[in-house]
Structure 1
Amino acid sequence: MSFKWIPTKIWVLSLFILPQAKADNTSLSVSDPLFEVQPNICVALREGRPCYTEVTFQWQSPEASSYCIRNTETEQLIGCWENQLKTLIWFEFNETETQSYELINQQSGHTVATAEIQVQWVYTNRQKKRRWRLF
């Protein structure tokens, strides 16, 4: 028995077994701005307690335009900028739950990008049921 053909057989067999890679047609267009937040995870000590951190929002667009950043749930504006190519802003994050933020084009009012800050905790609240006893 010859082992010389085993790599060739494995290669041919892998063509039938492995799924074919497909190109993703839902990629961003060249005109879409990049939007990110760092850090995107905030860790609180206990579940339900506020998480405090300073985050950085950054967006960059290939062409000058006007954008606003706002909290998705509360619709509170973080800031707005007119005719800018890029912006970097610091923000004091103080929340008990995960928050989403969106970059909005001021002219159209459409959301062009989103970012999320996840709130995690070190200790979960494990409260035991305390039954009332007389003795």
Structure 2
Amino acid sequence: MAVKFTRSVTLLSLLLILMPSQLVADNQPWYLKVEPNRCIALRQGQTCYQTLVFKWSVPAEKEYCFFQVPDSRPLTCWYGRGVLSYKGNFELDRSTVYQIRIKDKDVSVLETKVKVAWVYKTDRKNYSEWRLF
């Protein structure tokens, strides 16, 4: 009885060593995450500059592309499944949506948003007006 258990554990260990990415991908849910998920500029209307790291899992084996909405050109494309990532420097002046789509289709399978925030909001007063008194 102990021999069968040892062989089963050894066989399972061997499978985990030989095919770890495939086994992990089968158990992974669909997700798309970004870190950080907020970009902060000093004043309202200014562009914020941030290095963003996107991580996602796509368990279905297809051709996918990663987009910054509303751009029609993808940031990257790939074929396959599993856990992947993308790192880049971004210049954002407003909150921006990022999507993973099936290649050659306008179908979004995953989506996330990077919010842009400001430390100081602009005043409604216009300081360029002339004053006589």
Both structures adopt the same fold (TM-score exceeding 0.5): yes
Q: Is the contact made by 2:97 and 2:113 (CA closer than 8 Å) also made in structure 1?
A: yes
TM-superposition CA deviations, 1:20-75 (whole Å, max 9, x none): xxxxxxxxxx9973111111111111111111111011111223332111112233
Q: Is the contact made by 2:62 and 2:79 (CA closer than 8 Å) also made in structure 1?
A: yes
Structure 1 distance, partners of 2:102, 2:29, is 10
Q: Does residue 67 in structure 1 map to residue 64 in structure 2?
A: yes
Structure 2 distance, partners of 1:96, 1:129, is 22
Letter in 2 for 1:52: Y
The residue aligned with 2:52 is: 55
Structure 2 unmatched ranges of 5 or more: 1-26
Letter in 2 for 1:132: W
Structure 2 distance, partners of 1:33, 1:66, is 15
Larger radius of gyration: 1
Q: Does residue 133 in structure 1 map to residue 131 in structure 2?
A: yes
Matches of residues 110-129 of structure 1 in structure 2 within 5 Å? 110-129=107-126
What is the percentage of aligned positions where both structures have the same residue? 27
Structure 2 distance, partners of 1:129, 1:110, is 45
Taking only aligned residues, the RMSD between alpha carbons, in angstroms, comes to 2.3
Letter in 2 for 1:133: R
The residue aligned with 1:41 is: 38
Letter in 2 for 1:50: T
User: How many residue pairs were aligned?
Assistant: 106
Indicate the SS of the match to 1:86.
strand
Moved over 6 A (4+): none
| C-alpha spacing 1:32/1:106, structure 2 compared with 1 (3 Å) | farther
Q: Is the contact made by 2:56 and 2:84 (CA closer than 8 Å) also made in structure 1?
A: yes
Q: Is the contact made by 1:32 and 1:112 (CA closer than 8 Å) also made in structure 2?
A: no
Letter in 1 for 2:132: L
| C-alpha spacing 1:87/1:69, structure 2 compared with 1 (3 Å) | same
Q: Is the contact made by 2:69 and 2:98 (CA closer than 8 Å) also made in structure 1?
A: yes
Indicate the SS of the match to 2:75.
strand
TM-score, normalising length: structure 2: 0.69
Structure 1 unmatched ranges of 5 or more: 1-29
Structure 1 stretch 30-39 or stretch 119-128: which is displaced more?
30-39
Structure 1 distance, partners of 2:113, 2:96, is 6
Q: Which has the higher helix share?
A: 2
